[in-house]
């Protein structure tokens, strides 16, 4: 899990991103596409085209870390605006990672069985 304190800022990169990118490629998007510093400790979250996979990039003071999560059912709720980044709270990020609509907290789907 991502260790996030209340003073960490979380940014959602609007639109979709090529999920084949790794740490360096996503850090380059943060630096050049979002005009932000990927090494200042903020968390940057990216979503794939189909909406089932997200990646979170953050610098923990020692190095870059990358977290990926794929939903088995449903899609991650994402802002419709193109270009730029939207700030959310660490609590809203917890909802997002749980597959819950972070704008209106309700579960989007729950697994019923394995396989």
pTM: 0.82
Per residue in 68-77, pLDDT (tens digit) is 999 998 888 8
pLDDT digits (tens, 9 = 90+) for 61-106: 899 999 999 999 888 888 776 668 888 888 888 888 888 877 776 5
Rounded Cα gap, residues 87 and 9, in angstroms:
7
Phi first, then psi, for residue 51 (nearest 5°) are 85, 5
Whether the predicted pLDDT of 30 surpasses 90:
yes
Residue-range domain boundaries for the chain: 10-97
pLDDT cut 70: percent of the chain above it:
85
């Amino acid at each position: 899990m991502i260790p996030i304190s209340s003073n960490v800022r979380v940014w959602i990169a609007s639109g979709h991103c090529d999920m084949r990118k790794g740490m360096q490629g996503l850090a380059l998007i943060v630096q050049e596409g979002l005009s932000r510093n990927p090494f200042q400790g903020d968390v940057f979250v990216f979503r794939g085209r189909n909406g089932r996979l997200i990646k979170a990039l953050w610098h923990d003071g020692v190095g870059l870390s990358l977290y990926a999560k794929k939903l088995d059912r449903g899609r991650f709720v994402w802002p419709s605006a193109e270009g730029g980044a939207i700030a959310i709270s660490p609590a809203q990020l917890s909802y997002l990672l749980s597959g819950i609509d972070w704008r209106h907290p309700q579960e989007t789907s729950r697994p019923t069985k394995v396989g």
